Amino acid sequence: MSAEPQTDTVDMMLNMGPQHPATHGVFRMVLSIDGERIMGVRPHIGYLHRGSEKLSEHESYGQVITLFDRLDYVSNLNNELVFVRAAEELMGVEAPERAQYIRTILCELNRVASHLLFIGTYALDVGAMTPVMYTFRERERVQNLFEHVTGARMMHNYFRIGGLKEDVPGDFAERVLSVVRRLRAGVEETDRLLTFNEVYLARTRGVGVINAEDAISCGLTGPCLRGSGVAYDVRKAYPYEVYERLEFDVPVGEFGDCWDRYWVRLRECYESLRMVEQALEQTPEGPVMAPGRRIARPPKGEVYAHAENPRGDIGVFLVSDGTDKPYRVKVRPPSFCNLVGLERMMEGAYVADAVAILGSLDIVLGEVDR
């Protein structure tokens, strides 16, 4: 009587990335898979680490703004804003009302541009080739407007501690309105094309589900949290700039799956465009820079400022030792914190859905690795 051959089953390790088109950068996931099911995932980050936080300690406050441009490189102005606001709070300076309105308008347009990029590339991730062409075309309108206003398409360096670099050009209002009008048409078109497309629904509905409780305990913020039905938005919860005076809704999802996260971002595009129109109407005339010294030298102290970036709640902890260079700059990057939820979303999913789930988080590696 011979013994039965003993076969041990072990999970297979599958390496995805760092060079993978669906990771939107250099990001590596080590999946442990059992057949077609993902049993666990370990994200490996750091391939794009540039030491921005450490570099900030050697740059003056004005120069740090250029580093913040490069954190989340598809929503540059939102990042500039959070650092500028942190420094302003530390110095006790407040930007003139006009500057605050213009900042809000530009940030919201930037949010639309960022979400358009997400919608296009996410559709590409799950197999739809066309939407990316349409969304990039629309996004280009925003980039052109930014070039017109700030002089650069992406790395603007436009916000200053206490205001703006310079006032907007004379035809700003009409150009913004025309961009908003076209963007709305563009977003609607993408909406019609993609949102209820059957294949798209099949790829995203019920995939990568994370419930509200888990989403909160994982520290998710932004559309990833709102996709799970938690209506937390820094713009509503802790209003900054002029968001208090603008009327907007916080769209939330229902089930916390990939489609809900997409849906939240799509609705946010409409809300942002609404906000831009309102802000444009209310923009007063006046200076765009608070009076005071050009060189920022905040008093000793520390401050934590946060704001709603297209990816979530971005925070900056800024420590000043009274010199013209920050003593410490700590960034709480939303993409990085949202990655915590990745494992919860992926457990039990199919390998084929790994790309769809990762894509729905909308990470930007520049921000994850800093």
The continuous run of DSSP H or E covering 326 comes out as strand 326-332
- Nearest CB to another protein, comparing residues 67 and 105: 67
Chain contacts with another protein (rule: CB under 8 A) = 59-60, 62-63, 66-67, 130, 137, 140, 144, 147-152, 155, 157, 165, 169, 189, 192-193, 196-198
Q: How far apart are CA 325 and CA 57, in angstroms?
A: 6
Q: Which lies closer to another protein via its Cβ, residue 151 or residue 286? A: 151
Sign of the C-alpha dihedral, residues 50, 53, 59, 61? positive
Q: How many residues belong to the chain? A: 370
Q: How far is the CB of 293 from another protein (least distance, A)?
A: 13
The sign of the dihedral angle between the CA atoms of 253, 257, 260, 265 is: positive
In the complex, the smallest distance separating the C-beta of residue 324 from another protein, rounded to whole angstroms, is 11
Q: Between 231 and 295, whose beta carbon lies closer to another protein? A: 295
Between 75 and 150, CB nearer to another protein: 150
**Contacting residues for 311 by C-beta, under 8 A, at least 6 apart:** 72, 75, 114, 221, 222, 223, 334, 335, 338, 362, 363, 364, 367
We find the least distance from the C-beta atom of residue 60 to another protein, in angstroms, to be 8
CB 320 within 8 A of CB 299: yes
DSSP 2: P
Smallest gap from Cβ 245 to another protein, in A, equals 28
Nearer to another protein, 145 or 215 (CB): 145
Q: Angle of helix 258-282 relative to helix 97-125, nearest 10 degrees? A: 150
Q: Please, what is the minimum distance in Å from the beta carbon of residue 171 to another protein?
A: 10
Distance of CA 21 to the CA centre of its chain: 19
Beta carbon nearer to another protein, 32 or 66:
66
Q: Which is nearer to another protein, 152 or 216 (CB)?
A: 152
The minimum distance between CB 150 and another protein, in angstroms, equals 7
User: Pick from 28, 62, 67: which is nearest to 50 by CA?
Assistant: 67
Q: What is the DSSP letter of 353?
A: G
d(CA 112, CA 172): 18
* Minimum CB–partner distance for residue 151 and another protein (Å): 4
